[in-house]
Every structure is written in structure tokens, then in C-alpha cells.
Amino acid sequence: MINTDAFSYINILDKAADASWTRSECINNNLANVDTPGYKRQDIDFSSVLAEELGHYKYVSLDQKVRNLNLNHLNASVYTDYANYSYREDRNNVDIDTEEVERASETIKYQTLTDSISQEFSRLKTAMS
């Protein structure tokens, strides 16, 4: 991570891209275990972590929120979804159709995040020219 205000958005986008990659790995793992008896799906929720951190600074602009954000607190962790009830006899709660949709959505999100990071670097490069 780069420690300067010029890279604040890039650092957050980087954290989001890392979380998106991890979520994709979780989804792929869920799909690989669709037939494993008793398996409980895993997931990650970075957007809630980011919203909570940004919410700590109530009456300031988004730029100030991003500048004040502690990147060490932007670590979403993998959780096991025990609450997602299963109607299957083997107690596995992975729904292949839902996981496929989530995988497609996460792929688009990751591509968008990496594109945004590239655009931010392009803006910085233009500003330095």
C-alpha cells in the first residue's frame, strides 16, 4: 500500500479487489463441495466492512472519509453460512444455481475494480505530465 492522500482511493480499490478475489475463491470452493455431505457454504462481506468504516465519519465529505480511513480495518474475513438452511437430506446448504450467479457477479465486480484501479493510475499519470 502506498501512504499518501493521492493514492487513498487506489488503496481502497486494492482492498476491495483483494476481497473480491477472496470471495471468488470461496464461491469456487462452495461449488467444488456441492456434493459434500454436511458442507456449509462460505462467503465474505467486504461491502459491510467498508460501509461501517466510512460510517464512522458522519458529517464529512467522501474525500475526507477516504483520507481518514484506517486501511488496517478494511479486512473482511471468510465466514461459514450456518444460517442458510438446507432442504437437502445431506445438510449441505450450497445451491449450485445461486453460487453460479454469485460467481458471475463477482467476476464482473473484480473486473470493474481492476479497471477502476487502472483508471486511477492513468489520472495520476496524466496529472504528472
Instruction: Report pLDDT digits (tens) over 37-61.
Output: 999 999 999 999 988 888 877 788 8
Of 8 and 40, the one with more pLDDT: 40
pTM: 0.85
Helices vs strands, H then E, count in the chain: 4, 2
Backbone angles phi, psi at 42, to 5 degrees: -120, 155
* pLDDT score of 70: 81
Rounded alpha-carbon distances, angstroms, from residue 118 to 10, 90, 97, 106, 125: 9, 45, 32, 18, 10
Residue 116: domain span: 5-128
pLDDT confidence of residue 3:
53
Q: 84 falls in which pLDDT band (50, 70, 90)?
A: low
What total number of domains does the chain contain?
1
In 3D, which of 46, 77, 64 has the Cα closest to residue 9? 64
Q: Could you say which DSSP state residue 83 is in?
A: S
**Per-residue pLDDT at 72 exceeds 80:** yes
User: Residue 83: its pLDDT value, please?
Assistant: 75
